[in-house]
Amino acid sequence: MPANHFNTHCPDWATALLNGFSQIFLQRNPLCGLLCLLAILFTAPVLLGGALLGAVAGLLTAQRRNYAKADRQAGLFSYNGVLLGLLLSLYFPWSALLPPLIIAAGGLSAMLTQQWLKRTRVSQYLPAYTAPFVVLGWLLLCFATPSTPAHLIEVNTLNMLAAPFKGLGQVMFLSHPLAGALIAAGLLIADRRAFCWAMFASVAGMGWNLLHHDFYSALIGLGGYNCVLAALAFSSSRQQPWLPLLGIAFALLLTPLFAAVGLPTLTAPFILACWLIRPAVQVPGTVASNRAPCLPEENQPRLR
């Protein structure tokens, strides 16, 4: 079913929420968003409530504060809420305090996104991408329980083939290859060029980690998800086809820096890579890229 046909048969609020899920991957496509949502439902259902709560909190905040409807419908005020809901559901035990915390974080991310959008549209301000998620995530993770030790994963053909899909899933803290396959299908529906770059970037991240003998990160997808986002950020640049490659390279080089200073990686390397590249080149804008735009094995909490 074409996305425009889907839009005509989908309520505005549902379109906005589904676009919020697809905006995590810098796309505006409700079918892509639906497949992202199904990836959570099928592989980590315990996280679904937090993701939906964060998305709704961001959207309702935008509505109550009368932010531009076009931006709300594009999902610009929901995707950071989705990521924060996933993060909080993963690293904090469910309690009576967790839903209000997710709602507050999702609402605050929408307000930060709005302020960033206002500055981006009147000046040469850099896009926010997932900066609200990263900044709020760093603050909230200060109160999280320590992560559990990483489990060993066998280096075999099956795990090697599954790793690129896990790299896609890790953008949303999902380590099951089915999650990555559903996300890949969503990207293929939204933009075939974006799909190709995302898969290439995930393979590149895996190869980089294997080259440095970090087999766990390579096979669980932790080495690829920032590369995926950096490649997607520039995948629409047909006149400068080398930009996604540059984004991938910068993301790979920047990732170790955050571990070195003791900060959870989250999607910070992707953001910083794009911020370093954009001022140096003229990047064509799109609806998705102009916006303020991510589980380890066995769903074990591990700060990434």
pLDDT digits (tens, 9 = 90+) for 208-237: 999 998 999 999 999 899 999 999 999 988
Q: Which pTM does this prediction carry?
A: 0.90
Same domain flag for 87 and 178: no
User: How far is 22 from 223, CA to CA, in rounded Å?
Assistant: 21
Q: How much is the pLDDT for 91?
A: 94
Tokens 């997710």, residue? 102
Q: What is the largest CA-CA distance in the chain?
A: 53
Same domain flag for 104 and 160: no
Q: How much is the pLDDT for 9?
A: 65
The structural domain count of the chain equals: 2
Establish if 70 belongs to a structural domain. Answer: yes
Query: Which of 145, 178, 208 is the C-terminal boundary of a domain?
Result: 145
Average pLDDT, the chain: 88
Q: Which amino acid is at 106?
A: G
The pair phi, psi for residue 214, each rounded to 5°, is -100, 80
Q: How much is the pLDDT for 2?
A: 55
Establish if 302 belongs to a structural domain. Answer: no
Establish if 150 belongs to a structural domain. Answer: no
In this prediction, residue 5 has a pLDDT band, given cuts at 50, 70 and 90, of low
Same domain flag for 201 and 273: yes
Establish if 239 belongs to a structural domain. Answer: yes
Give the domain CATH number at 264.
1.10.3430.10
Establish if 292 belongs to a structural domain. Answer: no
Same domain flag for 138 and 180: no
Q: Are 111 and 59 in contact (CB under 8 A)?
A: no
Establish if 231 belongs to a structural domain. Answer: yes
Same domain flag for 113 and 213: no
Same domain flag for 36 and 141: yes
Q: Which token pair is 234?
A: 């520039």
Establish if 288 belongs to a structural domain. Answer: no
Same domain flag for 30 and 115: yes
Same domain flag for 15 and 130: yes
Same domain flag for 132 and 24: yes
pLDDT digits (tens, 9 = 90+) for 119-147: 888 877 789 999 999 999 999 999 987 76
User: How far is 148 from 198, CA to CA, in rounded Å?
Assistant: 29
* 39 pLDDT more than 60: yes
For residue 244, how many C-alpha atoms fall within 13 Å in the half-sphere facing its CB?
A: 23
Q: Are 37 and 298 in contact (CB under 8 A)?
A: no
Same domain flag for 132 and 175: no
pLDDT digits (tens, 9 = 90+) for 79-123: 999 999 999 999 999 899 999 999 999 999 999 999 999 988 887
* 13 pLDDT more than 90: no
HEC sequence for the chain: CCHHHHHHCCCHHHHHHHHHHHHCCCCCCHHHHHHHHHHHHHHCHHHHHHHHHHHHHHHHHHHHCCCCHHHHHCCCCCHHHHHHHHHHHHHCCCCCCHHHHHHHHHHHHHHHHHHHHHHHHHCCCCCCCCHHHHHHHHHHHCCCCCCCCCCCCCCCHHHHHHHHHHHHHHHHCCCCHHHHHHHHHHHHHHCHHHHHHHHHHHHHHHHHHHHCCCHHHHHHCCCCHHHHHHHHHHCCCCCCCCHHHHHHHHHHHHHHHHHHCCCCCCCHHHHHHHHHHHHHCCCCCCCCCCCCCCCCHHHCCCCC
CA distances from 181 to 25, 159, 186, 299 (A): 14, 14, 9, 17
Query: Which of 119, 145, 171 is the C-terminal boundary of a domain?
Result: 145
User: How far is 2 from 20, CA to CA, in rounded Å?
Assistant: 18
Same domain flag for 175 and 240: yes
Q: Are 40 and 54 in contact (CB under 8 A)?
A: no
Same domain flag for 127 and 160: no
Establish if 6 belongs to a structural domain. Answer: no
CA 164 to chain centre: 15
What sign does the dihedral 114-115-116-120 (CA atoms) show? positive
Query: Which of 122, 145, 168 is the C-terminal boundary of a domain?
Result: 145
Q: Which token pair is 278?
A: 């954009």
Look up the domain containing 121 and give its range: 11-145
